[in-house]
């Protein structure tokens, strides 16, 4: 049953619509289909309350529907009223059918996305509501709206971050801009925050915010045109120097790499990645992901040859590293092996040559 026909049946029956957005490769999707939906408690609830639709988001109407509905993770379950208006969303499965049914009930009840959106639009702003609203937005994977709500929750309350743990946790989780008043306040009183809250957690958040911000300066228009705010980036570099951000050179280079990828300048992309590996050291996750992006997005032979060079050089290093390791005793297993990357590199090299 397609999405349109399902909505028509729902309107005629007065039932809500339950849309299961899945893909063929998604393990959790298969788990929910195998272990959750066949259970009686799930069947009784979903068959009585919903017109149930299951659509592969990579086939037929799926890709266009996923784009229109903003589906970015799988499985995603979206609930609509009988008129076709979204009233709730749930991302991911649960341990059992009972928990899954309760989660769906919550998603369409008084704490549903639509109900919370309405309260927010009507001016509800007390901290307890905003905190609960953020949880609902998290479950719906609406990170952009969550950032807006969090910013409003923190607005004018920077001096309360030290005394209000709820506000501080909101800051830790949602503040994405090093230029925000809350972030600047924390930097100015860093020692005080480090003494009160977990130091490592705060350090990670600060580092991640500095690192991720340049991505907000990269935009893609409806016609596919990519623009990067170089003026804002120049000002951002000055800000990082002001706060003596140790990783600023790495941040700038990673930003250049992202821009080259977004604009399809694959040869420049490969050269910048090579520069990063030489300056900041080999990182298997970076090497593999960068090479994969070139393999999927580029027809530039030069760029592909550069990527193959990274992987061949890294394969040789892995062999040398493994040769230096002491032999295992009978029954022992290494806590971490590079074999996974070795096999991945070999396969990707074969695909790219």
Which residues have a catalytic role annotated? 26, 29
| DSSP letters spanning 209-253 | HHHHGGGGGEEE-TTS-EEE-HHHHHHHHHHHHHTT-TTHHHHHH
Q: Residue 71 and residue 141: Cα distance in Å, rounded?
A: 8
Strands 218-220 and 226-228: antiparallel
CA distances from 333 to 265, 275, 326, 338 (A): 43, 36, 12, 13
Q: Residue 132 and residue 142: Cα distance in Å, rounded?
A: 14
CA 2 to chain centre: 28
- Do the Cβ atoms of 11 and 82 come closer than 8 Å? yes
Contacts of 272 (CB under 8 A, 6+ apart): 253, 256, 257, 260
Q: Residue 206 and residue 219: Cα distance in Å, rounded?
A: 23
Per-position b or e across 86-121, b if 16+ CB within 10 A of its CB: bbbbbbbbbeebeebbebbeebbeebbbbebbebbe
Give ∠ CA 265-252-145 in degrees, rounded to 5. Answer: 90
């Amino acid at each position: 049953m397609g999405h349109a026909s399902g909505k028509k049946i729902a309107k005629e029956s007065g039932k809500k619509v339950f849309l299961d957005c899945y893909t063929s490769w998604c393990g959790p999707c298969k788990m929910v289909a195998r272990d959750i939906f066949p259970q009686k408690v799930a069947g009784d609830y979903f068959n009585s309350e919903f017109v149930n639709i299951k659509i592969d988001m990579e086939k037929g109407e799926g890709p266009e529907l996923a784009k229109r509905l903003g589906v970015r993770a799988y499985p995603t379950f979206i609930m609509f009223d009988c008129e076709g208006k979204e009233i709730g969303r749930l991302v991911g499965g649960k341990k059992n059918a009972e928990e899954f049914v309760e989660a769906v009930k919550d998603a369409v009840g008084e704490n549903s996305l639509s109900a919370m959106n309405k309260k927010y639009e009507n001016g509800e702003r007390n901290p307890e509501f905003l905190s609960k609203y953020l949880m609902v937005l998290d479950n719906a994977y609406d990170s952009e709206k969550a950032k807006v709500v969090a910013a409003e929750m923190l607005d004018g309350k920077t001096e309360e971050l030290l005394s209000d743990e709820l506000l501080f946790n909101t800051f830790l989780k949602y503040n994405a801009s090093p230029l925000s008043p809350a972030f600047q306040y924390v930097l100015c009183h860093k020692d005080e925050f480090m003494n009160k809250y977990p130091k490592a957690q705060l350090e990670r958040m600060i580092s991640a915010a500095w690192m991720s911000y340049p991505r907000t300066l990269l935009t893609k228009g409806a016609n596919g045109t990519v623009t990067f705010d170089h003026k804002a980036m120049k000002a951002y570099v000055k800000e990082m120097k002001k706060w003596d951000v140790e990783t600023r050179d790495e941040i700038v280079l990673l930003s250049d790499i992202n821009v080259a990828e977004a604009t399809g300048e694959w040869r420049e992309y490969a050269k910048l990645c090579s520069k990063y590996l030489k300056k900041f050291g080999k990182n298997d996750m970076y090497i593999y992901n960068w090479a994969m992006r070139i393999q999927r997005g580029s027809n530039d032979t030069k760029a592909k040859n550069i990527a193959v060079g990274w992987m061949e050089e890294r394969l040789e290093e892995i062999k040398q590293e493994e040769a230096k390791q002491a032999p295992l005793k009978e029954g022992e297993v290494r806590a971490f092996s590079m074999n996974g990357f070795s096999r991945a590199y070999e396969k990707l090299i074969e695909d790219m040559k």
